[in-house]
Structure 1
Amino acid sequence: MDGTRWLDEREMRAWRGFLAASALVNRHLDQQLKDDSGLSHPQYEILVRLAAAPDGELRMTELANGLINSKSGLTYQVTQMEKAGLVRRRSCPSDVRGVFAVLTDAGRARLEAAAPGHVTAVREVLVDVLTPAQLDALADGLGEVSRRLREQGG
């Protein structure tokens, strides 16, 4: 025997449910954001993170870590957003390699316009579908998965 612990029926049901739900939720939210505000879901999340940061700016490395995004993927998104006037970049004066993403007034305005529709969609496809106990279990379980993967550097 090869020692692999194969998934039992319950575990497989959870895994398949996670894969299907995450793909469908992401697809729905991405489409909603594109239709309503011309933003991709990653771009919306970048605006959210920048809006919550002191002075509306974060180092690109910190932004990538917070978004669980590759640095190249983040660079692409920020470049697109920079062309649209939603963010700008500035160099870090104390570290020549350091670059900050900075939220512009236009970016803040786009986020404020996009947020109500996005929150409504999140409620429709996830939050309001679950009971409070299911919501707690989802938050606890996926929070633990995220915590362990971050500890492992993955």
Structure 2
Amino acid sequence: MTKATPERRSGRRLPTAEELRIWRDFIETTGALSSQIASRLQTDSSLSPGDYAVLLALSEAQDRQMRSSELAAHIRWERSRLSHHLGRMERRGLIRRQECPTVPRGAEVLLTPTGAEAFRRSTVPHLRAIRELFVDALTPDQLRAAGEIAAALSTHLGTRHES
């Protein structure tokens, strides 16, 4: 009788050396890309990627406001993380929080004119950085493949947003 390895007991195979190499390349490259995009956003607009995610969500929301729990789910953050971040954004005048009139203990987050202006000023430089650092590095076929890969991973992880 052969001895069962941890790999065999679980009924799943472990990644091969080639699969691990691809995984590391993917993680390291997406990390470097995210870091460069974040650095450009900070330099160009004094906004962090978190600031931008919140401002984008609020700019697209009805009446430029969302319940904080809805905002946390939308940008896929834990509510405590969002709460701390919103406090920093509120001190900078980018957003305002107020009690939700329809939900006890609920809070609404509103985009302020200062936040809307900061978002507006940051958008073109941010989109330009995405073009230069991501889109221009890929052929049209590679870009399509990247979209398919992202969609497959998102579906597999159950994190896919409806577009």
**Pair in the same fold by TM > 0.5:** yes
CA distance in 2, matches of 1:8, 1:90: 52
| Structure 2 alignment gaps of length 5 or more | none
CA distance in 2, matches of 1:65, 1:28: 26
Q: 1:86 aligns with which of 87, 94, 110?
A: 94
Q: 1:2 aligns with which of 3, 6, 20?
A: 6
With normalisation by structure 1, the TM-score equals 0.90
CA distance in 2, matches of 1:101, 1:148: 31
Tell me whether 1:116 sits opposite 2:120 in the alignment: no
| Structure 1 alignment gaps of length 5 or more | none
| Secondary structure, aligned partner of 1:93 | coil
Task: Using the TM superposition, give the Cα deviation of residue 9 of structure 1 relative to its aligned residue in structure 2, in angstroms.
Answer: 3.6
| Secondary structure, aligned partner of 1:95 | coil
| Secondary structure, aligned partner of 1:97 | coil
Tell me whether 1:74 sits opposite 2:82 in the alignment: yes
CA distance in 2, matches of 1:38, 1:126: 21
Task: Using the TM superposition, give the Cα deviation of residue 135 of structure 1 relative to its aligned residue in structure 2, in angstroms.
Answer: 1.3
Alignment of 1:1-154 (within 5 A): 1-3=5-7, 4-150=12-158
Task: Pick the structure with greater CA Rg.
Answer: 2
With normalisation by structure 2, the TM-score equals 0.86
- Between the two proteins, what is the percent identity of the paired residues? 32
CA distance in 2, matches of 1:80, 1:103: 14
| Secondary structure, aligned partner of 1:101 | strand
Task: Using the TM superposition, give the Cα deviation of residue 150 of structure 1 relative to its aligned residue in structure 2, in angstroms.
Answer: 2.9
| Secondary structure, aligned partner of 2:105 | strand
Equivalent residues, number: 151
